[in-house]
Each structure stands twice: as C-alpha cells, then as structure tokens.
Amino acid sequence: MNTPVDATSTEAWADLRTLRDALVPDLRHWFEADPHRADEFTFDLADLRVDLSKNLITDDVLGALVRLAEQVNLPERREAMFNGERINVTENRSVLHTALRLPRDAELTVDGQDVVADVHEVLDRMYAFADKVRSGEWTGVTGKRIETVVNIGIGGSDLGPVMVYEALLPYKQDGLECRFISNIDPNDCYEKVKDLDPTTTLFIVASKTFTTLETLTNARMARDWFLGALAEAGAVDDSDDARTDAIAKHFVAVSTALDKVADFGIDPANAFGFWDWVGGRYSVDSAVGLPVAIAIGPDGFRDFLAGFHAVDTHFRTEPAERNVPLLMGLINVWYVNFFDAHSHAVLPYAQYLHRFAAYLQQLTMESNGKSVRWDGTPVTTETGEIFWGEPGTNGQHAFYQLIHQGTRIIPADFIAVANPAHPVTDGDTDVHGLFLANFFAQTAALAFGKTAEEVRAEGTAEEIVPARVFEGNRPTTSIMAPALTPSVVGQLIALYEHITFVQGVVWGIDSFDQWGVELGKKLALEIAPAVFGDAEALAKQDPSTQSLVSWYLRNRD
C-alpha cells in the first residue's frame, strides 16, 4: 500500500497559504480590471458550458492548485483508477466505474479478464430485456404487458436510478411508469404498491451485495403483497409451481451476488450482474440502471453512457489547465481548506433534476466523509463537504438568504439548460426565459452584492441600510447545457464523480470504501430483539437507549 503524499507538506500548499493570506476577494474589481476574466475561466466539457469566473480564484491560485494536483501525484492515481489498479485498498478492489461506459471496441483487461466484453454482455442482456418489456413481448402471469416497474433498492441501488428516471421523464415511454421503494419504513412499500395491479407490475430487486436489510425486507414484503394480490384477483392458484412461475415473470434482480439472488427465489436467468469493482454510489451506469433502460429504452441508455464516457475522456486526457473536473475538485479543496467552507450547495434550475442533490449527497459524502487516509494514518487537514440543495427557484424562497447574507461561505453550483422539454408560455411570456433570468440573476447577486451606497441611493432609511447590504464575493460555478438529454445527465454525473475523486486524492482518502455505515447497521440488528420485547437484550443497552426503547414499548399500540 503506497503512502499518500501529505498535501499540506507540499510546496503548492505553502503557496496557496501565502496566496490566501494576501487575497482580498473582490469579484467586482477583478471583473472590471480584467475584461477577459469570464472567457478565461469558462470551459467547454462535452455539451456542458462551465463558467468558473465567479469563483474566488486568480490565475496564481489556479496555477498553485494545478501544482498541488501534480505534487500529490494525482495524474498517476487517475491512471491507476482507469487502468483497474486496486486503489480501493481497504476492500482490495479495483475502481472501474469508468469501464462501464467504455465503447464496445475499447480494450481493457484487468487480472486477465476482458472487462469491456463483460460489460457489454450484460448491457446486451439489459437492452434485450428492456426491449421486451417496452414492446409488450414480456408479459405477466395473465399475459398482460408490464405497465409499472417497481425498483426495490437503497443507497446506490436507489438514488441513481430514481434521480436519472426523474431527470429523463420526458424520454420515458408512454404507458410505462417506474416507482422506487427504498426505506425500511413499511409505509414506503405500502404506499408504492397499494394501488398497483399485480398482473402488470414488474419488480426489480437491486442490491449489489443482496444482503442489505432494507432491500431484502422490502423485497419479501413486495413478494407477499404480490402473491396475495394475485391470489385475491384469482390470477394464480395456490400451488407452488404457479407461485414460482408468477415470481419468475414479475421479479428480476440486479446484483453482484447471483447465488443469493437464486436463494431468494428469483430465476438466475432473470438476473443482471455487475462486479465488485463498481461501488454502489458509482453504479447507475451498470445493471443498476435497468429501470432507466426500460423507461427510456436502449438507445437513450446508450446516449446516457456516451455522456459519461465523453467526460471520462476529458478528465483523463485534457491538460490540467483546461480539465474541468480537475479544476472544480481543486477549487472545492481551496474553499474547504483555505476558506473553512463546510458545505456546498448544488442548485439545479431544472425541475427534472430535483433529486440531483440527494444523489450527490451519497456520491460525495459517502466517498469523502473520512478521517483516515488510505494507509490508515489520520488525515492532515479538513476533509469532506456537506452537499445539499434543491431546485431553483424554490430554494430562492427558502434558504438562499443564508447563502447571500450568512456568515459562512457556501460555494454553490448553479445548473441550467437552454431548452426546456416543454416550452410552455404564459400569454406572451416565455416562462423558461423568465426562469433562467432568475438563474443568471442569482449568481450575479452573489458575486457582486450591493454596497451600502447603492442601498442608500434607493432612498433606504439609514437604520435599515446594514440589513440590506449584500457583501458579494459569494462564489458560484455556472453549468449550462443545451438541453437535459440522456447524454447530458450522464455528463453531469461523471463530472461530479471525478470532482469527488480529485478531492479524495488531495486529501489522501480512499473514496471508494464506506466503513462508516457499518456500525449503525450492526447495532440495529443487536437492538432489534429489545424492540421486539426481549428484556435481556434491553438490559444490555446504554441508559439512554433503554429509556427510548422503553418509551416506545409503552407507547406503541
């Protein structure tokens, strides 16, 4: 296991410290003094137009950040990832989500295995299955075509598919709907199935490990509901054969553990595999994307993967000075480590991206929420950011106050598309234009603020002038695309995957394990008997937990 370079001991880090100490952020002046600032800091990345100019950066800062990337050996680690080296050291695994979107004619062999052939074999099976469902050739137990696909999964086996499904709703086939059950709160499953016709419903049980408590519990509940509802409708008799046949027609699985899929009772012929080198939060472009492939069809899914691949190629080959994921990751480090930024807002001005921030929360925080480096030594600086957000303009009327006038710096990424899926007007008004006017206005307001003189010039009473001043110099990145196509959604995901990677490398983190989620899972299983009334198990708990569980036992019906 190689030792990560301590970023804080590099020359570049010392340069950044000096630059930060001398820096007085002044975006108004920087734009006035350099008429080319917007052009200089705006980049094209596949279909994305990325404007970094409203960040608190100068040429010197970017230069030092790029040197930092070199001095922590980021280019070597990036190559190691793309080549399938086992950079996920705590799990001794390769990290090859980039292989999931390699074109069929690409070449990548890892440990003697032709990875590209494996990936395309599964993609071909997924596409064939998706086509059958979409055409009606795949029928349920009574011969009816599938109308509703219910994905059962959690974490990476849920957040990616649901986010992308919602983002690409305009591309969905009419007459087909997807729903997503994730939470072990039984109300989730209840609400999602209660009005469904079992004869037209297909369940996808998605779990990388096929051991996750939530998913297996939900899958069993869904199976019970399904068999009960079928029997009630008189669609199956009570025999085991009839039930097995019904499950084979209505349950498929996505997993790396195909033996466990069979144990659950799902026909292995209806299982779509992937590999341990795909992290859960990096898996929406694997078989985990099956609901998306069914909803938008194989051609749409191919475009989606091509979008990822375009960004992968850029990240791997573009010079550092123009490498957008690299620069964005480094700028995030700049804010976290030199401005004490704790959180990062992602604000899509695209309602279809309403689950994007939730998706990014797992991607970024499960990846970089770590206190030790990949060799087990403590990190040498702050790591991780809290990613959060909601679509604009809704957020403007909720939490933007804090971003504009709060005491902490909150870097924000604004995302918008030029062409809406549905260009509806309000009388003569182009509503999407009005929507985007808000997008443009917000980043300008955050960057340039409003001085006390400007507030006074509006005739504001002196005592409320301070409350109406906007300091400005609130950093933002603007990302625009022509439209929210499958390819653009793939590009956005890959962009943030690589940003996350860059931050992890600078901090010396293994961004691909997630040991921090294990303890809570284990304790839940230990506490469960107490919750079910076992006094001995209750007595083993700490006083606070005993008191809480006892209250629960007294108050439940």
Helix (H, G, I), strand (E, B) or coil at 276: coil
Omega into 393 within 30° of 0, i.e. cis?
yes
Q: Minimum distance from CB of 115 to ligand F6P (Å)?
A: 20
The rounded distance, in Å, linking the Cα atoms of 261 and 216 is: 10
Q: What is the DSSP letter of 88?
A: B
CA separation for the pair 439, 348 (Å, rounded): 9
Calpha distance 261→258 (Å, rounded) = 5
β-pair partners for 425: 430
Any contact of residue 514 with ligand F6P (CB under 6 A)? yes
Contact letters (x/-) for ligand F6P, 116-155, by CB under 6 A?
--------------------------------------xx
- Sheet of strand 271-273, all strands in order from the earlier edge strand to the far edge: 177-181, 148-152, 201-206, 251-255, 271-273
Regarding 161 and contact with ligand F6P (CB under 6 A), the answer is no
Q: At its nearest, how many Å lie between ligand F6P and the CB of residue 207?
A: 3
Candidate segments 67-75, 204-212, 409-417, 472-480, binder of ligand F6P by CB under 6 A: 204-212
To ligand F6P, the closest distance from the beta carbon of 283 in angstroms equals 7
* Least Å from the CB of residue 156 to ligand F6P: 3
Of the pair 93, 281, the CB lying nearest ligand F6P is at: 281
User: Among all residues, whose Cβ is closest to ligand F6P?
Assistant: 280
Binding test (CB under 6 A) with ligand F6P, winner from 209, 361, 381, 541: 209
Query: Which residue has 């976290």 as its token pair?
Result: 336
**Is residue 53 within the footprint of ligand F6P (CB under 6 A)?**
no
Three-state secondary-structure class, residue 324: helix
The residue count of the chain comes to: 557
Side chain identity at 48, as an amino acid letter?
A: L
Closer Cβ to ligand F6P, 29 or 521, answer by number: 521
Which one, 156 or 449, has the nearer CB to ligand F6P?
156
Q: Segment contacting ligand F6P (CB under 6 A): 70-78, 201-209, 266-274, 464-472?
A: 201-209
Check if the beta carbon of residue 550 is closer than 8 Å to that of residue 399. Answer: no
Q: State yes or no: residue 370 binds ligand F6P (CB under 6 A).
A: no
Binder among 145, 179, 208, 474 for ligand F6P (CB under 6 A): 208
Instruction: Name 417's Cβ contacts closer than 8 Å, sequence gap at least 6.
Output: 350, 480, 481, 482, 483, 484, 488
Closer residue to ligand F6P, CB minimum distance, 209 or 545? 209
Among the listed residues 418, 517, 528, 548, the single contact to ligand F6P using CB under 6 A: 517
Number of residues that bind ligand F6P (CB under 6 A): 14
Q: Does 156 bind ligand F6P (CB under 6 A)?
A: yes
**What CA–CA distance (Å, rounded) separates 164 from 521?**
27
Cα–Cα distance between 370 and 6 in angstroms, integer? 15
Question: Which string of x and - marks every residue 261-300 that binds ligand F6P (by CB under 6 A)?
Answer: -------------------xx-------------------
CB of 417 to ligand F6P, least distance (A): 28
CA atoms within 13 A on the CB side of 530: 20
Which residues form the catalytic set? 366, 397, 521
CA distance 354 to 364: 17
Residue 157 is a binding residue for ligand F6P (CB under 6 A): yes
* Residue 212 binds ligand F6P (CB under 6 A): yes
Please report how close the Cβ of residue 495 comes to ligand F6P at its closest, in angstroms: 20
Q: Of 47, 40, 52, whose CA–CA distance to 417 is shortest?
A: 47
> Is the Cβ of residue 5 or residue 365 nearer to ligand F6P in the bound state?
365
The whole-angstrom separation of Cα 237 and Cα 37 is 72
List contacts with ligand F6P (CB under 6 A): 154-157, 207-209, 212, 215, 280-281, 366, 514, 517
